[in-house]
Chain A
């Protein structure tokens, strides 16, 4: 807890190294996040995309140390936030960081607010936890916060309850709570999935604005490639608990390298293109218990799979500058120590 924020321009704000998070099913642990490493620089918006079950939410819960106790656990790896290791912190230690320096917003604005407390109470709870502040100041600050997330009549809304607000308003309140202590990192897990498209546009606009004003880094978890294209600087594509590809947003959309990313791009209907058939990926994401033990986890569904994909695990490595991919079609992903089969 001694390391203070040291603002080297390029030092990462968050560094995750070889993270393995496992869930216990019938007493056996299965890796939901399997050897994942990435960095988030200050003021960067990093998108994490993938289908359900790819481990994107588990990864964010690992960083927040919010894994369900007794079921999920970090088995290996390091999580370094602003120079401090989080992976072995106790609850009371992490509580000083969580909600203050790292904040999170969730998918369901309907269920992530407590229905029996007023909006103001829930906002002030965060403020009292992390700041020395009087009741009066806290109330004024929460009104200001509500105003900053674009809620009209904040002095009225502050005394209202979640059920009195629409989905979009609730998500604004969630964002207000998350940014209450001006966090350095905001983790947004599918923040607009439950919202209508015009409301989604409002919320995305707001998130971008707040990110710029507060100089935050954002990890944006989503399954919507449109949202990624609009919001992110860098994108991580996950499949079955592993990173398949990591690059800047432009090359992801215009030069996707991993077959999974390529197929995913072809599977979404586009507004300005007319195709008779969408590309599909045969089969489904294997469940945790049925995950292939060796080789590339996408091999069984991959149209370009080579024989060695069944046995050799591809390494995530830089293929072009700033563009990492884990696929044996690329020389760079061949494992270094092992002798090629």
Chain B
């Protein structure tokens, strides 16, 4: 334990190094829709359609977008909870796209997930001590006696009282349950944590506790985060870089300050302008988008955003824009930028 601590203390200094921990290349995840008596595939939902990005060690990449944009599917595909239809997932130098069986099981120690709903993601029949130690038991055949101090240590790290060990999930509030979920994710000392809307079920005051905790743990355990959320101010608070998704595609990726100071994609601009500002003295220009997000079963041709875009040009209807670097570190998929 103590050597581990010394190591993390050294690593703390250079928060994000240049080593890439996770690289996603042209990732596609399609859900088939079955119909008819023979359950033939009649259509596909292109939930994630050609998404590429990378996350450096120690970095937090935020993924934002509205419901149905494919951000959760992206996260789950990276963890191989869903099978990718196409593309490559490279984790820590190893291509894990097609890894199966025991080798997949082994890699899974290194990436964990924190789920949105702290009420549904914990087994109500299991004691917290068992919930938190379950991942360790899955991988190491340690005796219960050795496990307990480890679990106690984890519970203390996420700010839960000692007696939590013998309690059941229903005895805790939403924020505390999310802490249990975080302790569980930390149990195997993973390298990457994918947090899928970890605070959207929580009240504001509790939300800030959990966000602070995640940041502290990131420093302490040298974690890399993929932080998925729909709330842009929360994502901005947590992330180093942010990717904006729309209808299965990544439309813009940039350092967070660059993204907020100068959003390039018309969708990002509308998204940022739509956030209600908690200050009545600030009256900002609002871009109101017309209509709703189209169905991912039959997405618009060309740029998927063109039917709602105020700047749409003829070529937007036919040519799908590729993600291009237009400024250092700022990539956007839009025909406005050549």
A residues bordering B, Cβ < 8 Å? 51-52, 166, 168-169, 196-202, 204-205, 223-230, 249-250, 253-254, 263-272, 275-281, 284-285
Contacts and interface: CB of A to CB of B under 8 A. Distances in A.
A268 B233 contact: yes
Contact of A196 (B67, B272, B273, B286): B67
Contacts, number: 116
B66 A268 contact: no
B278 to A, nearest CB: 4
A51 B292 contact: no
B211 interface: yes
Contacts of B233: 268-271
16 contacts: A51-B204, A197-B66, A197-B231, A197-B271, A198-B270, A198-B289, A199-B292, A201-B289, A202-B288, A226-B275, A229-B279, A267-B207, A267-B208, A269-B236, A276-B215, A281-B205
Interface string B269-297: 01111111111110000101100110000
A197 B279 contact: no
Interface of B: 66-67, 173, 175, 203-209, 211-212, 215, 230-234, 236-237, 260, 270-281, 286, 288-289, 292-293
Contacts of B274: 197-198, 200-201
Pairs of residues from A and B, 10 with the lowest C-beta to C-beta distance, nearest first: A226-B276, A269-B237, A278-B208, A196-B66, A201-B274, A281-B205, A267-B208, A51-B203, A225-B278, A229-B280
Nearest to A231: B276
A264 B278 CA distance: 11
A198 B66 contact: yes
Nearest to B64: A197
Given A198-B288, A205-B286, A229-B276, 5 more contacts: A198-B66, A264-B204, A271-B233, A275-B237, A281-B209
A278 B66 CA distance: 25
Interface centre among A223, A249, A270 (most CB of B within 10 A): A270
A223 B236 CA distance: 20
Nearest to B206: A284
Contact of B205 (A202, A228, A264, A277): A264
Interface centre among A197, A263, A266, A284 (most CB of B within 10 A): A197
Given A166-B292, A197-B66, A198-B66, A279 B204 contact: no
Contacts of A250: 280-281
A101 B233 CA distance: 38
Given A197-B271, A197-B275, A225-B278, A280 B236 contact: no
B271 A279 contact: no
Contact of A278 (B237, B278, B279, B292): B237
Nearest to A202: B288
A200 B270 CA distance: 12
Contacts of B272: 271
A205 B204 contact: no
Contact of B281 (A228, A254, A277): A254
B204 A267 contact: yes
Contacts of A285: 203
A269 B215 CA distance: 13
Nearest to B210: A280
B275 A196 contact: no
Contacts of A277: 212, 215
A224 to B, nearest CB: 7
Contacts of A272: 260
B203 A52 contact: yes
Contacts of A202: 288-289
A205 B285 CA distance: 13
A280 B159 CA distance: 13
A253 B279 contact: yes
B205 A196 contact: no
Nearest to A201: B274
A263 B67 contact: no
A226 B280 CA distance: 8
Contacts of A168: 292
